[in-house]
Amino acid sequence: MNKSSYTRVLLKLSGEALMGDKGYGIDPDTVNYMAEEVKKAYDLGVEIAIVIGGGNIFRGVEAAEQGIERATADYMGMLATVINALALQNALEKIGVNTRVQSAIDMRELAEPYIRRKAIRHLEKGRVVIFAAGTGNPYFTTDTAAALRAIEIGANVILKGTKVDGIYSSDPIKDPKAKKFDTLTYMDVIRYSLKVMDSTAITLCMDNNLPIVVFNIRGKDNLKKIVSGEKIGSIVLREVKDDAGVQEES
């Protein structure tokens, strides 16, 4: 068995990652694929926690713009993340990966309440822990929840799985001239408003010196390669030593 270069990671998945090519909801084949990719990293001995969004079912910010009161809309979005967490848990359990879902909103019939020390104990016992319902508070994104939980459990890194292969100067799907960055700093992300994570999440990571790796979750074996030490995607750090970060145009 290969040895992982990390001991504990926090994987952040968007809800959209579970809907595959569908425009809405959960695609079972995609969920099963995600579970297989997680298992490949899990089999290396790395402890894995997961925070998952709910945008494939309900987006609180968009609903608020359409007239639903913001706090209510955000709570509805948190419930969507629980649905996704249970779907991913089911897929992981079917392939032999022991899991626990912990929810920031109490719903004991479906998930454990979030307790930091208990989550850490689950990880130490070789269980994948899926954190649902964000932070449990409105006005905070699941990106912020990922940063918060990663810090609380002592993760070495946040691995943000996206549909593109790293961080770009603009949306590479819409802009063919978009530049990809291999390495950049937290301040680069904030200064140039790069769409990595929201500013609260970036600040939390910067204050606690927690690296962020952004990569294409759809790429076969990408997660396994990252935890094995391969350079996949883009990484955000406190300092960039080789001047590979964002450069201002003259």
Joined together, the tokens standing for residue 47 give 């402890």
Distance between alpha carbon 45 and the CA centroid of its chain, in Å?
19
Structural domain contains residue 245: no
Structural domain contains residue 158: yes
Closest CA to 215 of 168, 172, 162: 162
Per-position DSSP letters for 124-147, written without gaps between them: HTT-EEEEESTTSSTT--HHHHHH
Joined together, the tokens standing for residue 60 give 């609180």
Structural domain contains residue 1: no
pLDDT in tens, 73-132: 999 999 999 999 999 999 999 999 999 999 999 999 999 999 999 999 999 999 999 999
Alpha-carbon distance values, 221 to 34, 49, 81, 155, 248 (Å) = 10, 18, 25, 21, 34
Alpha-carbon distance values, 105 to 63, 108, 110, 140, 161 (Å) = 20, 9, 11, 14, 24
- On the question of pLDDT at 4 being above 70, the answer is no
pLDDT at 61: 74
pLDDT in tens, 22-54: 888 999 999 999 999 999 999 999 999 999 999
pLDDT at 72: 93
Domain count, the chain: 1
Q: With cut-offs at 50, 70 and 90, classify the pLDDT of residue 240.
A: confident
Structural domain contains residue 249: no
Q: With cut-offs at 50, 70 and 90, classify the pLDDT of residue 21.
A: confident
Structural domain contains residue 114: yes
62: CATH: 3.40.1160.10
Structural domain contains residue 248: no
Residue 154 Rama label (left phi>0; alpha psi -120 to 50; beta): left
Range of the domain at 125: 8-237
Structural domain contains residue 242: no
pLDDT at 22: 85
Structural domain contains residue 98: yes
CA distance 236 to 218: 20
Alpha-carbon distance values, 2 to 36, 72, 205, 228, 231 (Å) = 17, 46, 28, 7, 16
- On the question of pLDDT at 244 being above 80, the answer is no
Burial class (CB in 10 A: 0-12, 13-18, 19+), 108: exposed
Instruction: Output the average pLDDT for the chain.
Output: 92
**Residue 29: what residue type?**
D
